[in-house]
Chain A
Amino acid sequence: MDLLGLTIKNVSEKLKDGAFSCKELIKECLSIIKINDKKINAFLTLNEDGALKKADEFDNLIKNDKEIFKKKPLLGIPMGVKDLYTTRGIITTAGSKIIKDYNPPFNATVIRRLIDAGVIIVGKTNEDAWGHGSSGENTDYEPTKNPYDLSRVPGGSSSGSGAAVSYGACLVGTGTDTGSSVRLPAGYCNLVGLKPTYGRVSRYGVIAMASSFDSIGHMTKTVYDNAKVLEVTAGVDPYDGTTVPIRVDKYTKVLGQNIKGLKIGLPKEYFVEGLDNKINISIRESLKVFEKLGATIEEITLPHTDFAMAAYYILVPSEVSSNLSRYDGVRYGGPRELFGAEAKRRIMLGSYTLSSGYYDAYYLKAAKVRTLIKQDFENAFKKVDVLIAPTSPTLPFKIGEKVNNPLQMYLSDIFLCPTNLAGIPGLNVPSGFADGLPVGMQIIGSQFSEELLYKVAYLFEQETQHYKIRPQFKNG
C-alpha cells in the first residue's frame, strides 16, 4: 500500500471498495511511523493499541452496515493530533515538560466530532510547547525535522502534524493557528493548511494559548481533504461561547466551480524587501495560473501591516501570561520551574505589558491598532474577493538558525499574524518548489469565507498538482 501518495478521498473510496481494511491501513501507518519517525520526531505519543482496536471495530461496522460511510464521513481515516488538543485517555503534553504525564478525563469538542465522524487517532504530534513558536524548536522534547530536508525546520508551531502528514504517517493532522501555526508548517511541508475564521471551529478542550486569537485548523495533502474535515469540525459549540451561529457550508460541494471574474488583490506591503526573490518568483508564476483560470489581479494596500507584528507581540503574550497562570502544579502537572525558555519569555513579556503603568501604552494601544488592521482588510475586501500573499518571507530555514534570537523567530510570521489580528481565514496552498524546498502561498478571505477559499484553491491545485511531489528525506 502506498500510503505516502494517498489522500482522504482515495482512502475512503478504497475502504468502500474493500481494496483494504481499516486494520491493514492502520497497521501500514504504524509501520511507516516506526520506520521514519526516529529521523523526523513528528510524534510524542503513539496510540497504537487504541488505533488498532478502533480499526477492528470499524471493519465490523463496514461488514454489517452498508450506510456506514454516509453516517461516518471520515471512517477509518488515520489522524495525527497536535498535542495541544485534549484527548481522553491519551497523554496530552502541549509539547511541554510541565504537564508531561497529564492524562485528560475528557475530549476537546473537535476531537469528539472527528471521532464520531470515524477518524482513527494514530498519535499525538510534536509542537512548539504551548504553541509558542514558528519552527518546532521550542518543543520541550526533540525538535521535529522537515521531511523534505532533515537539516531544516518543518515550520511551527504545529510542526509534528505538518511533518507527519507530509511523510505519509497519517492523512490529516490537526493544528492550532494563533499567529501562523497551521499555515507555516503547511507552507514548509507542501500541504494544504487552514486557519479558519475565529469562532468557526470550537476551541473547547484545546489548551489555550491566546484566547482572542486561537483558531482551530488542520493540514491535509489536498484541498478536497481539507474541506471534508472542516465540514466535520466547523459549527457552534455550546461549550465555546465564541463559536458563531453562522451556517456551516458543504464545503466540498463548490469544488470545481469556475472562478471566472474573481478579483484577486495583492497586498503591496507583502511584496517588499526581505521577501526571498525565489518565493516572489514562485508566487508570480502561480498568479499566472489564476489569470488563466479567469481571475483578475490588482495591487491593493493594507496600510498598517508594518505595525501588525508589534501589536501581535503585545496582545498575544498578554493573553499567554494569563492562560499559563493556571499551571500551578496543584491539579495536574509539575511546578512552574519546568516551563521552557520561550514560555517564560512570553509570560514575562505579557506580565510586563499588562503591568501597572504600562497597560495603556502597550495593551490598550495594541488593541486599538488591532482595530485599524481589521479595517485595512475590510477596506481591501470592498475592492477584491480574496488576497494572495506568500506564506513565509523565506524558505524553510536551518534548524538552529534562529533559536538564539527570539525577535528574528517572531518575524517569521510577518505575513501570517495580521489575519489572526483581523479574525479572518487564511488557507495555505503549495505554490511550487525552490531549491527543492516547498513554497507556500496563502489565500486570504473575509470572515466566514472558507467556502470561497476552498473553491479558489481547488482549481489552482487541479492545474498545478504540487501536492504530488513527495518528501525525499534529504540530508537524512
Chain B
Amino acid sequence: MKYILMMNGKKADFERYAQWSKEDLQANVVFMRAFSKELKDSGAFVATEGLAWPSEAKLVRAGKDGEPVTDGVFPESKEFLAGYWIIDVDSPAQAYKIAARVSQAPGPGGKPGNLPIEVRQVLSSHADLGL
C-alpha cells in the first residue's frame, strides 16, 4: 500500500527555517539524504519532492469564460506543502514508523525538529474514491 508523507508549514514556519544557520541546514540535509537512501535500500521509496516557497504559490480558479483566474493571496493560517515522500509499504504501522523517523530530522542546534508529518494513503485508482 502506498502512502504520502507530507511536511506542511505556515509562511511564518518557512521564514523561521530561512534563518537557520548554515550548519543546521547542512545537518538537516545530511539527515534527509540518509533518510532517502534508507528508503531506497529498503525498497519502500517511490518518490520525493521539495516544493518552491509559498511566496511563489498561486491559487487558480476557472473564470466564467474558462480563462484561469489567478490569485496569490493566502490567509496567514494557510498551511503550505513544503515537501513530500511517497512510500510503498506492507502496513500502516510501517508508514507511521517511517513518518516518525523523518519527524526527528534535526532542527536548530541539532535537536530533533519533531515536525508533524501528515500521513495519507493514496488511491490506486480514482474508482477507489467511492463517489
Say whether A and B bind each other: no
Interface set of B (CB-CB < 8 Å, partner A) = none
Interface set of A (CB-CB < 8 Å, partner B) = none
